[in-house]
């Protein structure tokens, strides 16, 4: 049979980092662009596009609007699987999954962001 013994070709889709640096998806999950704002380089919301996922995204935007940090909303399941998030929505700060499966309030997100300030995660 032709199906066995052949490797599938990997198709790498070029995506951009949260700052638009043009890194590939595999690079995005390990490091970000390195441009830090108060110790935070990347904040991402991982979700399937449901109401809860959109709510976490909106709450994240409210929480970081004063800091001027860009928030990326990722719905591509392949990228989400690279982070290892098994429940949606998920919040990623400095390329580290900090919350999975619940919609956080803006105050909770602000607390997580301040906890991550000064900790290395992005290079």
Q: Which residues are catalytic?
A: 50, 53
User: ∠89-33-54 over CA atoms, to 5°?
Assistant: 20
Exposed e or buried b per residue across 43-82, where buried means at least 16 C-beta atoms within 10 angstroms of its C-beta: bbbbbeeeeebebbbebbbebbeeeebbbbbbeeeebbeb
């Amino acid at each position: 049979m032709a199906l066995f013994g052949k490797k599938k070709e990997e198709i790498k889709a070029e995506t951009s980092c949260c700052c638009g640096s043009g890194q590939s998806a595999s690079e995005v999950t390990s490091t970000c662009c390195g441009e830090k704002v108060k110790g935070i380089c990347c904040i991402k919301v991982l979700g399937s596009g449901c109401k809860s996922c959109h709510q976490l995204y909106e709450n994240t935007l409210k929480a970081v609007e004063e800091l001027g940090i860009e928030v990326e909303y990722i719905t591509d399941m392949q990228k989400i699987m690279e982070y290892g998030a098994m429940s949606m929505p998920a919040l990623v700060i400095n390329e580290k999954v900090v919350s999975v499966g619940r919609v956080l309030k803006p105050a909770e997100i602000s607390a997580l962001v301040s906890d991550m300030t000064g900790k290395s995660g992005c290079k």
